[in-house]
C-alpha cells in the first residue's frame, strides 16, 4: 500500500512540476485519469466475468463427468449380475466351463510343444542370419530387423514359459533353462552388437551405413514400447490388489518381461564411446605433454559435429535431441581436456595459444554450428582467463628479464673490458649489437607492451649507471677504447629511440581506446629516456675532452707558457 502511495506521489510530481500547473493542468488531468480508470474498470469487469464463466463451465463439466462415471458403474454392475444369473440358467454350466478350460489347456500345451520343437531350427536360422553382421558392423544389415523380430518372439516365449513354470519342481526349471540357453546367448550377443553399433555412429556414416542406424533406432523404439506396456501392466497390477485372486483378470498372472531400458542404455553406450574417442585422440599428446598439438588436434570436434547435424540427426526422432546431446558431450570432453592442461606447468606460448583457442572455439561453435556460448555448459576454463593472462604475463616478464639480463651482461662485459673495438656500420659509425638484439626480443613480445616497456626502462637504468661508473674510472685512470665505446653507446641509444618510435606507431591502433593514451605516454617517456642516455654519452665525451686538455689550460698565461 505504501509503495502504491509513493508511486502515485512520484507520478503526480512529474505531472505537476510548477504551482501554476494546479490551475492549468489539474482539471484536464482529472478528466484524463477518470477516463483511464473507467476503461481499466471495464476491462477488469470483463476479465472477471470471463473467469467466472470458465469456472462455471468447469464445474458443469465435472458434474456431467461424475454422473457418467456413476452410470457406467451401474451398467457394469448390471452386466455382472446378468452374467452371474445366466450361469444358473444353463444346465451343467460348471462342467461345461471346466471342459472348456481343459480344452484351452490342451490347445495351449500343444502350441507350447510345437514351439519347443521349432525352437532350435529357428535359432539356427537366426544365428546364420546374424553371423555376418556380428563379424562386421559395416556389412549390410538388411536382416537386422528380421533377426530382432524373431528373437523378440523367442524371448517373449521364454519369459512366458519360465513365468508359468515358476512354481514347478527344480529339475523342471533346470530343464527349461537348458532349452533356452541358446536363446539367452543369442539375445546377449545381439544386444552387445546393438551397443557396438551405438558406439560407432560416426564410423557407420563414414562407411555409408546410415540405414543401419535407422534400423538400430527402430529396434530401440520397439523395445521401449514393450517396456512401457510391461510397466503399465505392473502398475495396473499393483493398483488393483483386490483383483489379484480373480482368475478371469488378465493381469492376475503379471507381466514376465524384464525391463530393458534400451534408450537409456543407448545414451550410456554413446557417452562411453565418445569418452574413449577423446581419450584415443588426445592420449599421445598427454603422454608427450604436447599441449599445443592437442589444441591443434581439436579441429575434428567441429567437423564431426557438422557430420552429426547433416547425417545423423535426420535419422533420429526429435525426442532424442541427438544434436544437443552430441554438442554437450563434445563440449564437456573439451572442458575436461582444458582443465587437464591448466593443471600443468605451461609455457607462455601454450598459455597464449590456449586463450586464443577458447575465444576461437566459441566463435566457431556459433558461426559453423549455430550454438551460442550460453548453451555450452560448463564454461571453458571456469572463467580463469584472467588468471591465465596473469600467469602468461609473469612468464613473459621472467623470459624478458632473463634474455635482456644475458644480453646486458654480454654488452656490459665488452663495454668494460674493451678488448676489441666496437662494430662499425657501413657509413662509418660505431655501434653495439645490443640494440638490434634487444628489439628483436621486444618485437616478439609486442603483445605485452607494458612488460616490454619495463624491460626497456630497466636497460636504460643499467646503461646510465654503467656509463657513469666507467666515466669516473676513465677520468681517474684513462684507458684506450672508451671514447669509441661511448660513441657506440650513443649511436645505439639513438637506434633504440627510433625502434621505440616505430612501436609507438604500431601499437596504439591495436590496443583498447581506454589504454591508448597511457601506452602513448609510456612509450614517449621511453623514447625520451634513450635520448637522455645519448645526451649523457655526448656529455661524457665532452667531459673526457676537457679533462684531457685541462693540463694545457692550467699552463696558459704562466711562466712555462713563455
Kindly report the three-state secondary structure assignment for every residue of 197-257.
HHHCHHHHHHCCCHHHHHHHHHHHHHHHHHHHHHHHHHHHHHHCHHHCCCCCCHHHHCCCC
Distances (CA, A) of 215 to 209, 364, 474: 10, 33, 93
**Rounded to an integer, what distance in angstroms lies between the CA atom of residue 389 and that of residue 387?**
5
**Rounded to an integer, what distance in angstroms lies between the CA atom of residue 287 and that of residue 277?**
16
Residues 6+ apart with CB under 8 A from 435: 492, 493, 495, 496, 499
Domain positions in the chain are 1-83, 115-234, 269-382, 409-555
Q: Consecutive sets of 10 residues in the chain, 562 residues long: mean pLDDT of each?
A: 71 72 75 85 88 90 91 85 70 72 77 80 90 91 92 88 83 85 92 94 92 93 89 70 52 69 93 93 89 88 92 92 92 89 78 83 89 85 68 64 71 74 73 66 57 73 82 76 79 80 71 66 82 84 77 65 56
**Rounded to an integer, what distance in angstroms lies between the CA atom of residue 418 and that of residue 479?**
9
**Rounded to an integer, what distance in angstroms lies between the CA atom of residue 235 and that of residue 74?**
26
Q: Looking at the domain covering 409-555, what would its CATH class be?
A: mainly alpha
The whole-number pLDDT of residue 549 equals: 73
Distances (CA, A) of 8 to 1, 16, 20, 24, 244: 11, 12, 20, 20, 69
Give the bridge partners for 344, in sequence order.
Answer: none
For the entire predicted model, the pTM comes to 0.63
**Rounded to an integer, what distance in angstroms lies between the CA atom of residue 392 and that of residue 297?**
22
Helix, strand or coil, per DSSP, at residue 433: coil
Cell of 365: 561453435
The whole-number pLDDT of residue 198 equals: 93
The whole-number pLDDT of residue 451 equals: 59
CB 126 within 8 A of CB 153: no
Pairing of strands 430-431, 423-424: antiparallel
The whole-number pLDDT of residue 372 equals: 87
Residues 6+ apart with CB under 8 A from 269: 195, 198, 199
The whole-number pLDDT of residue 510 equals: 58
CB 293 within 8 A of CB 309: no
The DSSP element (H or E) to which 431 belongs, if any, is strand 430-431
Amino acid at each position: 500500500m505504501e509503495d502504491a502511495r509513493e508511486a502515485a506521489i512520484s507520478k503526480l510530481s512529474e505531472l505537476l512540476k510548477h504551482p501554476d500547473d494546479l490551475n492549468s493542468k489539474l482539471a484536464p488531468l482529472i478528466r484524463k485519469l477518470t477516463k483511464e480508470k473507467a476503461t481499466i474498470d471495464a476491462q477488469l469487469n470483463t476479465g472477471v466475468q470471463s473467469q467466472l464463466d470458465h469456472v462455471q463451465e468447469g464445474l458443469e463439466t465435472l458434474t456431467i463427468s461424475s454422473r457418467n462415471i456413476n452410470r457406467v458403474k451401474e451398467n457394469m454392475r448390471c452386466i455382472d449380475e446378468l452374467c452371474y444369473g445366466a450361469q444358473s440358467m444353463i444346465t451343467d454350466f460348471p462342467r461345461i466351463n471346466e471342459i472348456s478350460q481343459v480344452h484351452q489347456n490342451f490347445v495351449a500345451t500343444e502350441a507350447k510343444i510345437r514351439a519347443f520343437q521349432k525352437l532350435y531350427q529357428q535359432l539356427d536360422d537366426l544365428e546364420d542370419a546374424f553371423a555376418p553382421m556380428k563379424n562386421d558392423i559395416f556389412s549390410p544389415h538388411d536382416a537386422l530387423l528380421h533377426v530382432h523380430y524373431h528373437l523378440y518372439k523367442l524371448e517373449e516365449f521364454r519369459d512366458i514359459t519360465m513365468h508359468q513354470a515358476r512354481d514347478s519342481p527344480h529339475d523342471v526349471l533346470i530343464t527349461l533353462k537348458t532349452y533356452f540357453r541358446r536363446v539367452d546367448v543369442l539375445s546377449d550377443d545381439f544386444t552387445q552388437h546393438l551397443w557396438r553399433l551405438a558406439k560407432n555412429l560416426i564410423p557407420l556414416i563414414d562407411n555409408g551405413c546410415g540405414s543401419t542406424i535407422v534400423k538400430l533406432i527402430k529396434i530401440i523404439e520397439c523395445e521401449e514400447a514393450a517396456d512401457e506396456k510391461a510397466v503399465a501392466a505392473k502398475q495396473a497390477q499393483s493398483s488393483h490388489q483386490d483383483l489379484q485372486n480373480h482368475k478371469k483378470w488378465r493381469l492376475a498372472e503379471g507381466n514376465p518381461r524384464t525391463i530393458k531400458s534400451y534408450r537409456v542404455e543407448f545414451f550410456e553406450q554413446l557417452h562411453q564411446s565418445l569418452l574413449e574417442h577423446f581419450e584415443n585422440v588426445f592420449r599421445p599428446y598427454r603422454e608427450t605433454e604436447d599441449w599445443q598439438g592437442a589444441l591443434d588436434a581439436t579441429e575434428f570436434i567441429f567437423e564431426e559435429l557438422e557430420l552429426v547435424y547433416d547425417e545423423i540427426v535426420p535419422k533420429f526422432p526429435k525426442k532424442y535431441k541427438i544434436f544437443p546431446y552430441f554438442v554437450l558431450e563434445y563440449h564437456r570432453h573439451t572442458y575436461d581436456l582444458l582443465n587437464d592442461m591448466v593443471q600443468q606447468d605451461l609455457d607462455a606460448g601454450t598459455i597464449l595459444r590456449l586463450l586464443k583457442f577458447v575465444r576461437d572455439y566459441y566463435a566457431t561453435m556459433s558461426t559453423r554450428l549455430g550454438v551460442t556460448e550460453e548453451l555450452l555448459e560448463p564454461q571453458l576454463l571456469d572463467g580463469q582467463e584472467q588468471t591465465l593472462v596473469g600467469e602468461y604475463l609473469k612468464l613473459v616478464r621472467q623470459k624478458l628479464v632473463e634474455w635482456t639480463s644475458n644480453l646486458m651482461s654480454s654488452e656490459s662485459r665488452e663495454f668494460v673490458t674493451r678488448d676489441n673495438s666496437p662494430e662499425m656500420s657501413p657509413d662509418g659509425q660505431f655501434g653495439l649489437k645490443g640494440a638490434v638484439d634487444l628489439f628483436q626480443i621486444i618485437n616478439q613480445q609486442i603483445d605485452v607492451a607494458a612488460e616490454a616497456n619495463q624491460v626497456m626502462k630497466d636497460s636504460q637504468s643499467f646503461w646510465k649507471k654503467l656509463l657513469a661508473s666507467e666515466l669516473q674510472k676513465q677520468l681517474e685512470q684513462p684507458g684506450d677504447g672508451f671514447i669509441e665505446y661511448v660513441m657506440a653507446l650513443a649511436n645505439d641509444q639513438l637506434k633504440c629511440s627510433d625502434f621505440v618510435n616505430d612501436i609507438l606507431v604500431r601499437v596504439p591502433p591495436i590496443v583498447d581506446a581506454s589504454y591508448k593514451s597511457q601506452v602513448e605516454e609510456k612509450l614517449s617517456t621511453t623514447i625520451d629516456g634513450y635520448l637522455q642516455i645519448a645526451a649523457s654519452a655526448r656529455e661524457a665525451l665532452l667531459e673526457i675532452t676537457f679533462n684531457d686538455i685541462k693540463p694545457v689550460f692550467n699552463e696558459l698565461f704562466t711562466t712555462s707558457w713563455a
